[in-house]
Amino acid sequence: MLWPRPAWVSSTLHASRLTSSTGFTLVELIGVLAILAILASFVTPNIINQLRNAKRDAEDQQLANIAKGIELYIRQTRSFPANLTALSPDYVSTSIGQLTNNTNGFLRYFFIHPNIGGYSNALGLASNALADARFLLITDLSLNANPAITTDAEFDAQWNIDETGIPDLKIYRGHVGHLFHLLSLSADGAGGSYAIDGTPTNSGGGTLALHARYHLAGTTVALDEADTFGTADTQFMMTGEAGYQLDPDCANGSKWRVISSGCYAP
């Protein structure tokens, strides 16, 4: 004899079938969420670190690009840029805002060694200043670095910073001493004059003082036998080291001669 099935059994079976065929139970859903949370706790930090490292690598590349622009500016103008904005857009093809700020919006800083601040190519660099033909690019991806550099010692302190333990701090160290060439101008007697990049130096009938300084490639040098510079007897553009001496004993038109050479016919 079969007994009738109680109503509560039918309801339970119906609910069980409904749950298994239509979705997760609350307990199962909580379990899935817990697993996802555990996975996220491992994956998210890795993704964040990868993004940070990518930004750091990109900033290294951007500073290198800016440094190339600075060197190009020096080559073409025979001077140092006063600031980073002077590079845009002719020397670094980006907007001023993208040039002066890193990708996180913090400032980039540009410093020339104080010992060559206000460099004039007409005057050139003394031999003991050639090693200071350097510049710094400094930025931080987490804050405004705001370095203070007004003295040689402060520049060298920043130059020598070990940023290994400060991954968001980025420093590019640029040395442009290789762009300079020695120019030697002297006189073996009274008279003569010369002009460097259009700036004249006159003997006034006396003896020219030795000029032995470093100038940028492309510097124009004009030599005149007259005591006050007027029309050049010899003119050239520096591409390497050059040396001339005025010899008043040589014939007119050939008094300026290459150092260590004799008089030559004009």
Distance CA 123, CA 199 (A): 9
pLDDT value of residue 18: 43
Burial class (CB in 10 A: 0-12, 13-18, 19+), 159: middle
Interacting residues of 228 by C-beta distance below 8 A, sequence separation 6+: 193, 200, 202, 204
Distance between CA 243 and CA 222 in Å, rounded?
12
pLDDT for res 19: 46
Nearest to 235 by CA among 190, 188, 187, 200: 200
How many CB atoms are closer than 10 A to CB 222? 18
Residue 8 amino acid letter? W
* Strand blocks (E) in 86-228: 108-112, 134-140, 169-175, 180-187, 193-196, 199-202, 211-216, 220-224
* Res 260: pLDDT: 83
Here the contacts of 223-227 (C-beta below 8 Å, separation 24 or greater) are 223/185, 223/192, 223/194, 223/256, 224/192, 224/193, 224/194, 224/195, 225/191, 225/192, 225/252, 225/253, 225/255, 225/256, 226/191, 226/192, 226/193, 227/191, 227/192, 227/193, 227/202, 227/203
* Averages of pLDDT over each 10 residues, the chain, 266 residues: 50 46 70 73 68 92 98 97 96 95 97 94 96 97 95 97 95 97 96 97 97 97 97 94 95 91 71
What are the phi and psi torsion angles at 63 (to 5°)?
-65, -40
> What pLDDT was estimated at residue 44?
62
User: What predicted TM-score, i.e. pTM, was given to this entire model?
Assistant: 0.80
